[in-house]
Amino acid sequence: MLTSQDHDAISRLHLLARGVVEGIAAGRHRSPHKGSSVEFKEHRQYVRGDEIRSIDWKLFGKTDRLFIRQYEDETNLRGMILVDQSGSMAYRGSRSALSKHEFAVRLAACLATLLISQQDSVGVATLDTRLQQVVAPRSKPSHLQAIMTTLAESRTGGETQLSDALKQASSSLRRRGVLILISDCFDDVRALLTALRYFAHAGTEVVVFQIWDPDELDFPFRKRTRFRSLESSKVELLLDPVALRTAYLQRLADYRAQLGQGFARERISLIPCSTDQDYGQILSAYLGQRSRKTANPKGGQRLR
């Protein structure tokens, strides 16, 4: 039973996502197989962003309404957005208005709204050591209510075991799909790459939005600090951060390099995000990356 507080949270997600997406010019996805071999299938009503050259002008002359000709090999995307709700995502530094998880939930709401606005089908799932709540992909605008409800109800807790949860998610995606993971990726790099490799090799587009708090990137601590694990209450250390800063930043650089190289090798798109970034900028970067890869599919990730 949803409380009034839950309804308020869902409404805020809707408003935020709609505002962000309305500021972005989103195009229509086209099948890479489109050509002389495809056969006409049906018409659908024209929506803003469709290519003018796809309009059936003869039908317009008869009906005074704009329709698009669709073909057998033309398809919209089927997407699944996975939101990490493990304990580490609860971190919020003193300079941040949101925790990593709160930021991830809002980013997922924006992405879902963007995809549905492009007539793609999209679902969402939350995960930590395993899949938690799952909403199957649908393309109707009304489907956003179920997605926003699941996102608003997401809560952090538990340890990180993304690789196992991703194996569970494999049954939720079909062939021509896109898997969007929103996570800090705090897991064993090899295990994470192995799990994501399955999707990439099966022809699924894989995009990872890696969420960082600014504190994690520059380690600003100066005074003796007590560090507590957000995933295990038994881990707690009182440390001098100044003495550790150089070693921490080096390990961070090594980790990011290892992750970036692995993703590039597997043709997985990696989009680093900080919780102080603007959602519109992040989505614009994502769309720009997709546009470049679509224009030059042999030069990088297989983005549709």
DSSP assignment of 35-72 equals STT--EEEEEE--TTS-GGGB-HHHHHHHSS-EEEEET
pLDDT tens sequence across 46-64: 766 566 777 888 888 888 8
Beta bridge partners of 135: 124
Regions of the chain where pLDDT drops below 70: 1, 25-42, 47-51, 70-76, 171-176, 293-304
pLDDT tens sequence across 121-138: 999 999 988 889 999 999
Non-local (6+) Cβ contacts of 185 within 8 A are 162, 192, 208, 210, 259
The CA distance from 194 to 198, in Å, is 7
Q: What is the pTM of this model?
A: 0.80
